[in-house]
Amino acid sequence: MNLRSIISVSQLNMYVRSLLEGDENLNNVFVRGEISNFSPNARSGHLYMTLKDGNSSVKAVMFAGNASKIKFRIENGMSVIARGRVSLYERDGAYQFYIDDIQPEGIGSLAVAFEQLKERLSKEGLFDSVKKKPIPPFPKRIGVISSPNGAAVQDVVNIISRRFPLAEIIFAGVPVQGDGTGEIIAHAVSDFNYLKCADVIIIARGGGSAEDLWEFNSETLARAIYNSEIPIISGVGHETDFTICDFVSDLRAPTPSAAAELAVPDINELTAYLNLINSKMNKAINSKILFEEMRLDKLSDSGYLRKPADFIDDCEKKISDLNKSLNIAVKAIYENQYNRAFVLLSKLDALNPLRILSRGYSVVKLNESVVSSVSQLKVNDRIELCFTDGKVSATVTKITDKVK
Amino acid sequence: MKMNYEESVKRLEEIVSRLEEGNLSLEDSLKLYEEGALLSDKCRKMLSEAKLKITNINEVTENG
């Protein structure tokens, strides 16, 4: 292009653009700056912003394709390192920074690291709800991992002492801030498991900045918690703070105090429950006694136990009834025998020789023997004639043989 | 045998449910009730007299 002749604005901008795009150094450049005028286009998905430092600023754009890949939310005031290329927006004649990738600087990169670790461990299954161990309802020994000088351990002790003084606290004092702290806490978790000296473990730390809590995102700690056979409650920071420790623990409490409350039952509830059991037991035994009393009443109400004289009366009546029956039976037998005797007597009477005599016959006796044939007699025998009403002595004067 | 709080409460629950079934003899019921009343007193005592013990893990021996 001949710059000595007159050119159009478009030609100028096109020329400058080609110069910028032709510069190798500007093709892939990292720029550190602070975000301002951030304005995402909801429809297109493109992100528009200005990158600035103390003295200068440059307009920047991130197209939707690249913008969809970033993991954090861009906000005004955020310090970032942006990678991209430099070119010119011909319409406005303004040069722009076209961002391919953007990383937050400082704590921002920690946040990215956090997200990355979280995603990796999550994929590995360390946060799976099926792996979460239940918190025992009546822990005898509660492991507490915390700073010996912090308010967190005081809160935990106070709450457990008030709610469930039956328990024993096994305390492991650790630093809760600073490089390497995560490993030390992980070691304490392993100690509890090695010694088997707790039914549940509370990891407690008071609130702080994201940097303060950073060691609770330690991967070593996460794996120690995951491998712990003792259930672990995480009470780190405040309600809004989330750490890897929270995700991998069996139970996440918003604060150390809340962790203590989740770890133990409440003595007031236990007392109330004990009262309930007691009243149930009293009710059960009372109804048993009542039942037995009613049973006894029913038994003693029925008949002889209530009126023993009735029993004797009943026996007497039975005896008198039997007596009556016996009398009837005996009388019947007697009458039966009497009738039989009467019949026999009548028959006997009919055969009585005296009855025959009464009809005009008489019996002849000789020397007290009955004479039934003339051959037994001879003339002058002294015989007796027997009648029903007396005897006659006679002498045989003549014998006539009936046959002759 | 010395039962801890949880075991005592479990035994109490068992006693109550057996009593509530009501098919035991009066004698056995009363025996159970007596055991339950003693246990319940023991539990109350455990709750009212308990005092939180704090031990440093360095003092815990390997046997727990």
Q: A124 lies in a domain?
A: no
Based on the domain organization, do A155 and A254 belong to the same domain?
yes
Domains held by chain A: number: 3
**Is A170 in contact with B56 (Cβ distance < 8 A)?**
yes
Rounded alpha-carbon distances, angstroms, from residue A400 to A294, A364, A371, A384, A395: 111, 16, 15, 18, 15
Rounded alpha-carbon distances, angstroms, from residue A61 to A22, A245, A295: 19, 37, 93
b/e per residue B10-22 (b: at least 16 CB within 10 A): eebeebbebbeee
Name the percent of chain A lying above pLDDT 90. 61
**Of A32-41, A275-284, A350-359, minimum mean pLDDT range:** A350-359
Name the percent of chain A lying above pLDDT 70. 96
| Mean pLDDT value of segment A311-325 | 89
pLDDT value of residue B62: 64
**Is B62 in contact with A188 (Cβ distance < 8 A)?**
no
Tell me which residue of A200, A292, A311 sits closest to B26, measured CA to CA: A292
Q: How many whole angstroms separate alpha carbon A65 and alpha carbon A30?
A: 19
Q: A333 lies in a domain?
A: no
If you measure CA to CA, which chain B residue comes closest to A293?
Answer: B26
The torsion angles phi and psi of A36, rounded to 5 degrees, stand at -145, 165
Average confidence score pLDDT of chain A: 89
Kindly tell me if the per-residue pLDDT of A108 is higher than 70. no
Smallest Cβ–Cβ distance between B22 and the set A137, A165, A288 belongs to: A288
| Mean pLDDT value of segment A306-324 | 85
Give one DSSP letter per residue of A212-263, joined into a string.
TTGGGG-HHHHHHHHH-SS-EEEEES-TT---HHHHHSSEEESSHHHHHHHH
Kindly tell me if the per-residue pLDDT of A240 is higher than 90. no
Domain boundary among A222, A250, A265: A265
Which stretches of chain B drop beneath a pLDDT of 70?
1-2, 62-64
Instruction: Tell me the longest C-alpha to C-alpha distance in chain A.
Output: 227
**Is A274 in contact with B43 (Cβ distance < 8 A)?**
yes
pLDDT value of residue A71: 67
Q: pLDDT grade, residue A216 (50/70/90)?
A: very high
Residue found by looking up tokens 């002498």 in the block: A395
Based on the domain organization, do A144 and A84 belong to the same domain?
no
Ranges assigned E (strand) in A26-93: 29-40, 47-52, 57-62, 79-89
pLDDT digits (tens, 9 = 90+) for A64-81: 999 988 767 788 888 899
- Tokens of residue A275, six digits: 């009262």
**Complex ipTM, two decimals?**
0.84
Domain boundary among A50, A80, A105: A105
Ranges assigned E (strand) in A69-121: 79-89, 94-104
Based on the domain organization, do A145 and A231 belong to the same domain?
yes
Q: A244 lies in a domain?
A: yes
Q: pLDDT grade, residue A3 (50/70/90)?
A: low
CA angle A361, A364, A366 (to 5 degrees): 175
pTM: 0.56
If you measure CA to CA, which chain B residue comes closest to A191?
Answer: B57
Based on the domain organization, do A241 and A175 belong to the same domain?
yes
pLDDT value of residue A68: 86
Give one DSSP letter per residue of A139-200, joined into a string.
-SEEEEEE-TTSHHHHHHHHHHHHH-TTSEEEEEE---SSTTHHHHHHHHHHHHHHHT--SE
Residue A198 sits in a domain whose CATH number is 3.40.50.2300
Domain span including residue A16 = 9-105
